[in-house]
Structures are given as C-alpha cells and as structure tokens.
Amino acid sequence: MAAKVEQRTYEDAVAWLRDHGFDLIEAPGAQIRVFLKKYKCSAAIQKTDDGGAKIFAYPGYMIGSEISKLVNRGYQQFLKTTKTEVPATADHLNALHQFAEEMKEALALPSLYNESLGTVSESYQYDRIKDRDQPEVDRPKRPWETMKAKAAAATKKSQA
C-alpha cells in the first residue's frame, strides 16, 4: 500500500532546497516565484494559493543563460533553446535526472516509476508521426515519399 505523502509549504520547500545546495534566485517582480539552479540545470517554482509549492518552469539544462527543453526525436534526445539545439549527452541527462529527482523531493511530489528509470522528455517528436494529425494535403513530403515520386517519374520517362 502506498504511503501518504505529506505536502510541504512553499517556505519549507525553499528552506529544503537551500539546505541541499540549490542556488535560489527570486524572479523579478514576483514575490511568489523562485528560480532554482544546481548541476548546470534550472527550473522555477511558485507559491500556490493554499501556501504549497508547484513547478512553474520544468527542469532544463542551462545552455548559455537559457533553460533548454529536452526533446526526444526517437533516435536521439536534444537540448533545445530559442537560439540553438544540441544533442543531449549522458552527462546532460544524468544531471537533469538528478536535479528533477531532488526538486521533486523538495516539493514532496511523487516520484513516478517511469520517471525514476531515467530522464523524461518534455516533448516527443518522432519523424514518422510528426504532422500526422494534419490533413494529408498539408503534410510535408517525407524523404521516402519524395524518392518514390522521383523513381516513378524516372520509370515513366524511360518507358516513353
């Protein structure tokens, strides 16, 4: 049977984070929000109406001064910012996983089985299913569809 997780107040969570080596930066103009930094990763939490804490910006690896978003493309995970996209290394993923687990512990959030196995991406963009929800005429042509059209045109031309 699962044990009941005791909720932490925002102040308790902030104190726990400070005690465990997180750098805390107050968000400009917002007394109820702080940015967390540790292991070259960052996230933001904010105070809820009932005095608890919730995640405002999900954890991401810092690239320059920007928090990246982890994107899974099926064959590789990438760290994406507004300016760049870099392949995620094992060190990046380990740091993100450790950061996320410690942050969940601070906020007294449950650690789910699939998340405890490794880093979970915020977005999954497999190339064969991307844009599949759009009407067929609006979908971009896939490389294998383009090659089929070229092969058909070449066959038709050679028969003429």
| pLDDT reported for residue 2 | 55
- Average pLDDT in the chain: 78
pLDDT higher than threshold 60 for residue 1: no
Residue entry with tokens 């902030």: 14
149 within domain boundaries = yes
- Do 38 and 102 belong together in one domain? yes
- Do 122 and 147 belong together in one domain? no
- Do 70 and 116 belong together in one domain? yes
151 within domain boundaries = yes
| pLDDT reported for residue 130 | 66
Q: Provide the residue range defining the domain that includes 145.
A: 133-160
Rounded to the nearest angstrom, the gap between the alpha carbon of residue 70 and the centroid of all alpha carbons in its chain is: 4
28-66 tens-digit pLDDT:
777 788 888 889 898 888 888 887 788 888 888 998 888
- Do 122 and 137 belong together in one domain? no
159 within domain boundaries = yes
Task: Give the Cα separation of 112 and 146 in Å (integer).
Answer: 42
The pTM of this model reads 0.64
- Do 120 and 138 belong together in one domain? no
- Do 43 and 91 belong together in one domain? yes
- Do 101 and 57 belong together in one domain? yes
Task: Give the Cα separation of 44 and 106 in Å (integer).
Answer: 13
- Do 118 and 144 belong together in one domain? no
Reported in sequence order, the residue ranges of 69-122 that DSSP labels E, i.e. its strands, are 69-72, 77-80, 85-87
98-111 tens-digit pLDDT:
888 888 888 877 77
